[in-house]
């Protein structure tokens, strides 16, 4: 009997609630005592009809249900202890939350599953608008215990609700030095979230980034007011937040702190490394460039050595984490970037440090060769494979265009031996495009041949090989365009009097290979151009990456 009731009443009501089908639900409720059904758990988790409708954001359905319910009915909880109001909060439906609170204000302070307040639940689920709406209610604020405030504050930071975290900090200044379950302060958590400060598009994300920076500023101002011992304890325990940020490339975070307290650049980690050494080791160009911007004597900073006697150039010689290498495509360009880093750091270290040996007896150059031997081989293989594939295409184009030069459209005049369409504009376009295609494909072949016969020394990856590859790809691109132009003009000359629509379609189709080549090869060509010309120094990398 219970199964029949579930199948005949509960299941149809569930479907109606999820779809917002009030007429069907009203019909089912009308056949039984409405109140007994409205207060009953109709799903396996003991969710009521109101729970399901609120979770499905069915505003109209909820409004009709509330007309039939008493205020105390809204306090009914499911198996996990959540009210229908908690479901509305989880779904982020502010309108449903408002009409529920209008019916029963106690819902705002009723805790749900795992003893979570509705406000905390909204923060956990990153429902920004809902969380801000609930926090603006005085009753929600007053109901928060110090433990609730602390948990809510750190949850807001974890879920990127920085604007709400900022409001909490303004209302409870002690949160600036509070610690979470891992004994970390809010600044420690933010130091490891570079994504919260990354450059974004305009609009909402820009506003969120600004609120994150404002939160860091407010937290830092509060910490700077502490005495020296507490200040040191706050930034160094359980880990040094400066080096956490430097390791992950959190430039905006570090810039905010150092700008207001420049002495931070003197901080050293347990291995006697500064944030600039960490930036070099993990290839974070923006942070490395702070060494120029803060006016600190960079030559002095470059003299620091870690416990393994590695100076800054040794760290530049070490191979970074694969995630830092793979930010550019292709092993050859990755090798180029590594050489760029080594050369840039080499400029600021003293000449004696360039030949200095570490505890393993390795100079920076020797260490670089050892650490990058695998990448060097991969770069050589990548270059050769790319050059071979492209040279094959270039050779085919050169062969075709050479033959086309002696098989002119329309043929030659039997008496004079000159092309029949010589004086026509289309023929002149054909001739020019044929010459351009043949010339550019020949240049491309020479460039790729030069790549294949290169000695593949480390220094070749700095400029020579990327430059040749860029010229070769560009010439190949030009030859493909001109080949399709030559084909289209030939087709026009041969058939324009009889098949006008065919010639038009042919011209459009001829553009397809060119477009595909651009779409498929442009990212690589762009990376090569960027690496070879635009990012010649780490300073430029910092400004563009």
pLDDT tens-digit map of 422-434: 566 777 888 899 9
- pLDDT at position 493 over 70: yes
Lowest mean pLDDT among 167-171, 266-270, 505-509: 505-509
List Cβ neighbours of 257 (8 Å cut-off, separation of 6 or more).
Answer: 216, 220, 242, 264
Question: Average of pLDDT values for 94-103?
Answer: 96
**CA atoms of 404 and 463, how far apart (whole Å):** 36
Half-sphere exposure of 374 (CA within 13 A, CB side): 6
pLDDT score at 524: 78
Q: What is the pLDDT of residues 410-466, one digit of tens each?
A: 555 556 556 555 566 777 888 899 999 999 999 999 999 999 999 999 999 988 999
Structure-model confidence comparison of residues 140 and 450, the more confident one: 450
Q: Under CATH, which architecture does the 1-115 domain have? A: Alpha Horseshoe (1.25)
pLDDT score at 455: 92
- pLDDT at position 492 over 50: yes
Q: Which two tokens stand for residue 66?
A: 């509330």
**CA atoms of 46 and 78, how far apart (whole Å):** 5
**CA atoms of 369 and 289, how far apart (whole Å):** 25
Which residue, chain included where needed, has tokens 């090798």? 335
Select from 228, 144, 219, 233 the least CA-distant residue to 189: 219
* DSSP-based three-state secondary structure for 457: coil
Select from 401, 397, 395, 313 the least CA-distant residue to 357: 313
Q: What is the pLDDT of residues 118-138, one digit of tens each?
A: 999 999 999 999 999 999 987
1-115 with 145-267: one CATH topology?
A: yes
Torsion on CA atoms 522, 527, 529, 534, rounded to nearest 10: 140
Q: Cβ-count burial of 236 within 10 angstroms (0-12 exposed, 13-18 middle, 19+ buried)?
A: middle
Select from 130, 89, 116, 219 the least CA-distant residue to 166: 219
Helix (H) or strand (E) holding 160: none
pTM of this structure: 0.83
pLDDT score at 543: 37
Q: Which two tokens stand for residue 393?
A: 């295409």
Class (C level, CATH) for 145-267: mainly alpha
pLDDT score at 476: 93
What residue spans define the domains of the chain? 1-115, 145-267, 282-371, 383-544
Contact 57, 48 (CB under 8 A): no
pLDDT score at 419: 57
**CA atoms of 343 and 334, how far apart (whole Å):** 14
Q: Which two tokens stand for residue 238?
A: 């359980």
Task: Determine how many CB atoms are found less than 10 A away from the CB of residue 545.
Answer: 16
Which residue, chain included where needed, has tokens 């069907």? 24
């Amino acid at each position: 009997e219970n199964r029949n009731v579930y199948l005949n009443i509960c299941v149809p009501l569930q479907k109606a609630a999820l779809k917002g089908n009030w007429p069907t639900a009203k019909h089912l409720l009308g056949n039984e005592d409405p109140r007994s059904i409205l207060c009953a758990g109709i799903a396996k988790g003991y969710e009521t009809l109101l729970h399901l409708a609120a979770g499905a954001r069915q505003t109209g359905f909820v409004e009709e249900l509330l007309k039939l319910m008493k205020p105390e009915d809204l306090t009914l909880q499911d198996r996990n202890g959540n009210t229908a109001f908690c479901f509305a909060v989880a779904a982020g439906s502010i309108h449903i939350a408002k009409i529920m609170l209008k019916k029963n204000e106690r819902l705002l302070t009723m805790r749900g599953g795992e003893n979570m307040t509705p406000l905390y639940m909204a923060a956990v689920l990153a429902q920004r608008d809902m969380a801000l709406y609930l926090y603006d209610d005085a009753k929600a604020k007053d109901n928060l215990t110090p433990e609730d405030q602390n948990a809510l504050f750190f949850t807001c930071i974890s879920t990127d609700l920085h604007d709400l975290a900022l409001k909490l900090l303004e209302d409870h200044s002690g949160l600036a030095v509070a610690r979470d379950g891992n004994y970390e302060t809010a600044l420690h958590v933010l130091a490891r979230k570079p994504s919260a400060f990354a450059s974004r598009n305009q609009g909402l994300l820009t506003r969120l980034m600004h609120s994150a920076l404002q939160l860091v500023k407010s937290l830092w101002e509060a910490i700077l007011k502490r005495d020296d011992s507490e200040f040191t304890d706050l930034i160094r325990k359980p880990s040094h937040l400066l080096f956490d940020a430097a390791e992950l490339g959190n430039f905006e975070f570090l810039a905010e702190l150092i700008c207001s307290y420049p002495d931070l650049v003197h901080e050293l980690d347990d291995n006697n490394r500064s944030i600039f050494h960490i930036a070099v080791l993990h290839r974070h160009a923006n942070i490395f460039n702070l060494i120029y911007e803060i006016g600190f004597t960079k030559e002095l900073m470059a003299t620091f050595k870690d416990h393994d006697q590695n100076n800054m150039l040794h760290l530049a010689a070490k191979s970074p984490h694969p995630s830092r290498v793979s930010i550019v495509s292709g092993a050859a360009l990755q090798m180029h970037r590594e050489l760029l880093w080594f050369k840039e750091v080499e400029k600021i270290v003293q000449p004696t440090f360039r030949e200095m040996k570490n505890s393993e007896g390795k100079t920076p150059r020797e260490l670089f060769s050892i650490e990058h031997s695998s990448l060097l081989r991969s770069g050589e293989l990548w270059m050769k494979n790319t050059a071979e594939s492209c040279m094959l295409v270039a050779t085919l184009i050169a062969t075709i265009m050479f033959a086309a030069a002696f098989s002119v459209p329309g043929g030659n005049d039997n008496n004079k031996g000159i092309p029949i369409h010589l004086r026509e504009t289309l023929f002149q376009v054909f001739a020019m495009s044929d010459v351009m295609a043949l010339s550019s494909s020949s240049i491309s072949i020479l460039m790729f041949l030069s790549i294949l016969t290169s000695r593949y020394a480390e220094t070749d990856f700095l400029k020579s090989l990327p430059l040749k590859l860029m010229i070769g790809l560009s010439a190949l691109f030009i030859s493909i365009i001109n080949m399709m132009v030559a084909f289209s003009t030939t087709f026009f000359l041969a058939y324009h009097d009889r098949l006008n629509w065919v010639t038009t379609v042919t011209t459009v189709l001829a553009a397809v290979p060119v477009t595909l080549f651009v779409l498929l090869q442009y990212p690589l060509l762009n990376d090569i151009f960027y690496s070879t010309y635009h990012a010649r120094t780490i300073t430029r990398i910092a400004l563009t990456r």
